[in-house]
């Protein structure tokens, strides 16, 4: 068999005998002929349909859900075409593979619609932060409670921190009671995602909408 190098050499010799044809044209031809083909990667989740089903026999389910039993693949494809539908391989690992007659385009649309609905349900929930202190006055506390209500009503979790400074750390019991009182004043229905826990700076807790 003639190697690429030998073929390249012969073409070069021939080109030298034909001055009317530039050598660059032969180089382009060589590149096109021996250009490596791109590997086609098949989607592992894609279903095989119609003539792309390569097995000789399949188990057939028709478009009404009736089991038509085992038959040759070509015959099942013909039945699907007669009904102006597609033969779709739904369980390729079965023996023989199970195929169903359906409208494949409609099936793809429904699958896409279900995927979009599933993604919409997986809405990202943010954790909003509210920070108060042992000496925060009533006006600021009410303002921060209203903030917590707004966050919860939008479906977000809320992390509430009570920060103690300096000598305030000696009054941790009072700080905990103040935090509990602040949470009890939040009107939006909520539940404790995490219980009140002590941290070096004071206390924190996470609440979520019910």
Q: How confident is the model over 45-77, as pLDDT tens digits?
A: 678 889 999 999 999 999 998 999 999 999 999
- The two beta strands, 98-102 and 57-61, are parallel
Q: pLDDT digit string (tens) for 83-112?
A: 999 999 999 888 899 999 999 989 888 888
- In the chain, CATH 3.30.110.10 covers 127-209
pTM of the model: 0.44
Pick among 3.10.20.80, 3.40.50.720, 3.30.70.1230, 3.40.50.300: CATH of 50-106: 3.10.20.80
- Residues in the chain predicted with pLDDT less than 50, given as ranges, are 1, 20, 40-41
* 8 Å CB contact between 164 and 202: yes
- In which element (H, E) is residue 90 found? strand 86-91
Angle of helix 172-184 relative to helix 138-153, nearest 10 degrees, comes to 50
Q: Which CATH code is given to the segment(s) 127-209?
A: 3.30.110.10
- In the chain, CATH 3.10.20.80 covers 50-106
- In which element (H, E) is residue 114 found? helix 104-121
């Amino acid at each position: 068999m003639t190697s690429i190098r030998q073929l390249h050499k012969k073409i070069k010799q021939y080109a030298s005998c034909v001055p009317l044809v530039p050598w660059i044209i032969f180089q382009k031809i060589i590149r096109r002929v021996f250009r490596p083909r791109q590997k086609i990667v098949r989607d592992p989740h894609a279903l095989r349909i119609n003539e792309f089903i390569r097995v000789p026999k399949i188990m057939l389910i028709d478009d009404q859900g009736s089991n038509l039993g085992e038959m040759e693949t070509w015959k099942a494809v013909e039945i699907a075409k007669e009904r102006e539908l597609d033969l779709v391989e739904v369980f390729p690992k079965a023996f023989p593979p199970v195929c169903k007659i359906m409208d494949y385009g409609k099936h793809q649309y429904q699958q896409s619609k279900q995927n979009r609905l599933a993604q919409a349900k997986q809405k990202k929930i943010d954790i909003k932060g509210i920070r108060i202190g042992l000496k925060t006055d009533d006006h600021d506390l009410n303002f921060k409670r209203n903030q917590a209500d707004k966050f919860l009503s939008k479906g977000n979790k809320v992390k509430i921190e009570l920060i103690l400074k300096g000598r305030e750390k000696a009054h941790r019991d009072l700080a905990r009671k103040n935090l509990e009182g602040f949470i009890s004043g939040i009107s939006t229905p909520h539940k404790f995602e995490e219980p009140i826990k002590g941290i070096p700076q004071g206390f924190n807790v996470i609440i979520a909408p019910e």
